[in-house]
Every structure is written in structure tokens, then in C-alpha cells.
Amino acid sequence: MKKYVCIILLISMGCKGVSQEKEAVTEKEEEQTEAFKVVKSEEEWRKELTELQFYVLRKAGTENPGSSEFLKNKMAGTYVCAGCGTALFNSEYKFDSGTGWPSFDREIEGNVAFDVDYKIGYKRTEEHCAVCGGHLGHVFEDGPRETTGLRHCINGAALRFVPEEQ
């Protein structure tokens, strides 16, 4: 029995853990950061963003459901990146998904980039600003069937609203 326990321990010690992949992830993040038009240091972002905006945009965090000031906003205008001001979503494509986060059935093409995310154990499509790389949220295929069928589930903290001029 001791022999089997020793073998199992040796095998498990030889396995590569996720914690050992931190360096590779950091290198990937640095490569992606350099590809964006707007690049700032963490210190610069911290000075410009609120604590919640920094958490969502720069650390890929998620705000609490139902907490966004934009959740019930019905005004005409454009939702822009809170980090760099890039236009991301038009108000005409916003809908109430009942999820607790602002939702849109389409993005402004070319201004939102997509990546695959496995952070919670299964595949999701992450959305980020194509100009500064700020994390926005995720896109799901359970949106309005009569339009695109997509639901861009976006953190309100990642957005600013620019009302349409009247």
C-alpha cells in the first residue's frame, strides 16, 4: 500500500499545475496590450478610472447584477468605452434581457474584439474594446431571435453614455 501511495505522490508532483502557467499568461497579455492603439501603464489606468471601472476594464472583473446606471436607460445615444471613449454600442440595439446587465443585440462593427475565455470552467466568448483592450463582458447566443440572436452582456462600469444630439 505504501508503494502505491508513493507512486501516486511522485506522479502528482510531476504534473504541471495551472499556477506554473502564470508566466505564459502574462506574456500573452503583454503581447495583446502592445497590439492596441491605446496603451497605458496600470498606474495611468488607475488614475483615470474609478475603482470599479479599473476592476472591470483592466482586471476583467464583473459588476454586481442590477447595479449599472445604464440598465434602465432608454435615451437615444451611443455607449462608449469608459477607458478610451471608443463608440461600442448604439442605443437602438439595447434591450432588456432580464439578466441584470445592459444588453445589446449587436456591436459597432470593428470597435469590439472577441476572445475565448475559460475562466469559469467552460467556453465563453469574451468581449473587449478593440482600441484599448478593456474588458466589456461576454456575448451569448440567447438574444432576440427576430434580430441577431446574440446577447452582448456588458458591464455598465465599462461604458459611458453619450446622448444623441437633438
Residue type, 58: R
Q: Is the model's pLDDT at 4 over the cut of 80?
A: no
Out of 91-100, 130-139, 146-155, 157-166, least confident range: 157-166
Full residue range of the structural domain in which residue 142 is found? 22-163
Q: Answer whether residue 12 is part of any domain.
A: no
Q: Answer whether residue 9 is part of any domain.
A: no
Mean pLDDT in residue range 26-49? 76
Among residues of the chain, what percentage have pLDDT more than 70? Answer: 81
Helix, strand, coil shares of the chain, percent, nearest 5, are 30, 25, 45
Q: 29: domain CATH number?
A: 2.170.150.20
| pLDDT computed for residue 112 by the predictor | 97
In sequence order, the β-bridge partners of residue 127 are 114, 137
Q: Answer whether residue 1 is part of any domain.
A: no
Q: Which of 81, 129, 132, 153 is catalytic?
A: 153
Q: Answer whether residue 15 is part of any domain.
A: no
Q: Answer whether residue 2 is part of any domain.
A: no
Give the whole-angstrom CA distance, residue 114 versus residue 138. Answer: 9
Give the whole-angstrom CA distance, residue 35 versus residue 2. Answer: 53
Has 15 been annotated as catalytic?
no
Q: Answer whether residue 5 is part of any domain.
A: no
pTM: 0.78
Count other Cβ atoms within 10 Å, centred on residue 87.
15
Out of 33-37, 95-99, 104-108, least confident range: 33-37
Q: Answer whether residue 13 is part of any domain.
A: no
Q: Report the domain count for the chain.
A: 1
